[in-house]
A and B are shown apart, each in its own frame.
Chain A
Amino acid sequence: MTAATILGLAAIAPPEGATRVTTIGDEADKAAKRLPRVDRMALQVARQALGSHSVDGLGLVVGTGYGGLQATVDFLEGIAVRGAGFGSPTAFHQSVHHSLAGQISLSLKITGPSLTCTAREVSSEAALKEGIDLLTMKRCSKVLVVCSDETVPALEAAFKLMEAPWTPSEGAGAVLLSLEPGELQISDVKLTSRSKQMLEWTEKPPQGAFVNPSAGIIKVVEAARALKPGESAALRSFSLGGGEGTVALRRR
C-alpha cells in the first residue's frame, strides 16, 4: 500500500476515566453549538486538522459507527410522543450518517469527493483505508479523514440489555493526508475479517472497557504525536462484527 503523509491531525477524547467528552472547543462558534454533539466533535477536529490548508483538490471521508444517535433518539421520541406526523425534520436529517460529512463540507466549503463509511468499532480503519484509496486512485490530491461517535443514554441502556461488560464511549479524530513525501506517515492500513457469530469480537476488549467506534483514529492521532524520529507503531482494533483493522505509522 502507498504510504500517506499526515499533514494535520486533531482529536477530542473524554477525560481519563470518563465516557463523555466534556469540552469540544467550539464554544465561540454559535452556529456549531446548535448542532448535535457528534457533528460538533467532527466539525471541530476537521477544522483543526485542515488548519490553513486549501480545500482545492480536497476529498473528505467520514467514519462513524452509529452516526447521529442523539438525533435518531430525538426523532423517535418526537413520533412516540406526538405521533408519526410530527417528527422533527431537523432531527431526521441529522440522524442520517452522512449528515456529519454534509455539515463538514458545508462549513469548510469542501466540494470534492465525499464519502461516509461505517464498520462498527473499525469504522476509523475503514475510513483511513478508503481515504488513502481515494488518493491512490487520484480522485483527490489531499483527503481529510474524520471519525466521530457520540454516546447517549439509549445506547448505554442497550449495552446493559445485551449484558455487555463494556461501556459505550465517545470522541472524534481527524487526519489530513496526502501522497506527497513527508516526515510522519501512515504506511499501511489493513482490514481483515473473520466470519464470526454476530456480536462476537475477534479479540474481546477487557471487561469494563470503554468502547468507542471512533477510537481507532484517536489512537492514531495520539500515537502520531508521540512518535519520535525513526520510530514506528502498529495499532490494532477489533469490531463486534468480526472485523479487524491495523494501522501502521512511522516517523522518518
Chain B
Amino acid sequence: MKNVAITGIGMVSDLGRGLDAHSAGLRTGVTALKPLTLFQTEGLQTRPVGQVEDALLEGKPNYSRSQRLTLSAAIDALGGFKPAGEGVIAIGSTTGGIYESEQHYLQHRGRPEGASQRQLLVNHAVGTIADRLCRDLRLEGERHTFATACSSSANAIGYAAARVEAGAPWALAGGVDSLCRLTWAGFYALKLLSSHACKPFDKTRNGLSLGEAAAFLLLEPLDAARARQATIYGLVSGWGLSADAYHMTAPHPEGVGAIAAMRAALADAQVEPSQIDYVNAHGTATPANDKAESFALKAVFGTRVPPVSSTKGVTGHSLGAAGALEAAISLLCMRDSFIPGNVGLGETDPDVSIPVMGPAPKEAKVSKVMSNSFGFGGNNTVLVLERAP
C-alpha cells in the first residue's frame, strides 16, 4: 500500500489525551502505571495499571467507559474533518461495554431482576461502540468491529487502510478497551499479571500490566489529503496477518506465525527489513511472549535488528486498543524524531535473542516503523507505517 495517508490522530491513555501528552510522557522514560482505583479487587495484592483520568473522557454519564474513551480519541482524530461519501469506520475492541454489564451480572447474577440498572446492559455487545460513535458523530459508512483479542485495533487499521487503498474516500480506524474486572481477574487467573509495573524483555519480568486506552487514525487517499493540504502524519503501508494454529493462549515458541505476519507486512509495504528504523514490539512482558517475539524478530531481521522497544512499560497492555495506540505512538516517533525506551528494563533476559533498547528513549530520525500486535487464539498482526514521500 502506498496511497493511504494518515491525516488525523487521536489518543487517550494513562499518559493523558493528545499527541503532545503522549510524546512528552514517552520521552521522560518513566512509567505512567499507577495503582488501580477504578474497581476493587477484593483483598488481592494491588497491581499497577494504566488507568485513564475520568476528566479526559467525552460522552454522557450513561455511556459505557469504552464508548467515552472511543469518543475522546475519535473526536481528536477527526479534528475538523467533514467526511464526504461513504467511508469505513473500523474499530478494534476485545470487551466492549463489559465494564458496565459485568457490574449488573455480579449484582444480579443473570437473574431477571435489576430492571432499574438495565442501562448497564445496553452497551454489552462490542459492536455497540461503533453504533454509538456513528450516531454521536453523524458518521455514515460501513461499520466494522474487529475482535481479534490483543491485535483487534491493528486489524481495524490494516483493514481500513486496505479499503482506502481500494477506493474508499476516507476511514476512521482505531480501537478501544477499558479496564474491567473480567480481564483483570482473567489475567490474574492465568498468572500473567505482573506484581510490579511490567518490564518488557527484562530478566525478572513476571507478566503484563493492564491498561486502558483508545486511539484512532483518520485515513484518506494520499492525493486527496494533499489536495486539501491536510497534515500528513505518515502512511499506512503494510498490513500482515496470520494465525499460529498452535495454542489458545500461548504464542508459538519459535514465533512461526509472527514471522509470517512480519514478512507479509513488509511485502505489502514493499519495504526491506533493513529499511525499518524502529520496531514497536508487542512486548507484553510475559515470559513466553517476549522470548517468542525476539526469536521471530531475529528470524526476520537477521543480524541487523533495528531498535526494538515495547511501550507497555509506560501504558500497560490496553488489549484491543494496543495496536492502535502503538501505531499512533509510532507516528509520534516519526513526527518528533525519537525512539522510546523499554521502561522498566534492568537486565535483558538472556533468552531474548536480540538486542533491545534500554529504558531511556533516544533521539533518532524515524522514517519507517514496524508495529507488532499478537493476540489470544494465535492471531498475529503487523503494521508498517512510514513517512509520506
Residues of chain A in range 120-163 having any CB-CB distance to chain B below 8 Å: 120, 123, 126, 129-130, 133, 136-137, 139, 152-154, 157-158, 160-162
Contact of A247 with B by CB under 8 A: no
Q: A92-B186, A105-B243, A198-B135 are in contact. Are A119 and B377 (CB under 8 A)?
A: no
Interface size class on chain B is: 35 or more
Q: Which residues of A contact B247 (CB under 8 A)?
A: 106
Interface of A is mostly: mixed
| B127–A99 touching, CB < 8 Å | no
| A96–B242 touching, CB < 8 Å | no
Interface of B is mostly: mixed
| A193–B134 touching, CB < 8 Å | yes
| A114–B148 touching, CB < 8 Å | yes
Query: Could you say which of B69-77, B111-119, B334-342, B347-355 contacts chain A?
Result: B111-119
| B146–A89 touching, CB < 8 Å | no
| A85–B243 touching, CB < 8 Å | no
| B249–A109 touching, CB < 8 Å | no
Closest CB of chain A to B341's CB: distance in Å?
31
| B244–A119 touching, CB < 8 Å | no
Q: A92-B190, A98-B377, A117-B147 are in contact. Are A110 and B245 (CB under 8 A)?
A: yes
Contact of B376 with A by CB under 8 A: yes
| B42–A96 touching, CB < 8 Å | no
Minimum CB distance partner of B134 in chain A: A195
Q: How does the 8 Å CB contact mask read for B180-201 relative to A, with 1 for contact and 0 for none?
A: 0110111111100000000000
Name the contact of B378 in the complex, choosing from A106, A126, A153, A239 (C-beta under 8 A). A106
Query: Could you say which of B136-144, B202-210, B226-234, B303-311 contacts chain A?
Result: B136-144
Task: List chain A positions with a Cβ less than 8 A from chain B.
Answer: 60, 64-67, 72-73, 75-77, 79-80, 83-89, 92-93, 95-99, 101-103, 105-106, 108-120, 123, 126, 129-130, 133, 136-137, 139, 152-154, 157-158, 160-162, 191-193, 195-199, 239, 241-243
12 A-B contacts, Cβ less than 8 Å apart? A67-B126, A76-B105, A77-B110, A79-B185, A85-B44, A98-B375, A102-B243, A109-B245, A129-B144, A158-B118, A161-B114, A243-B127
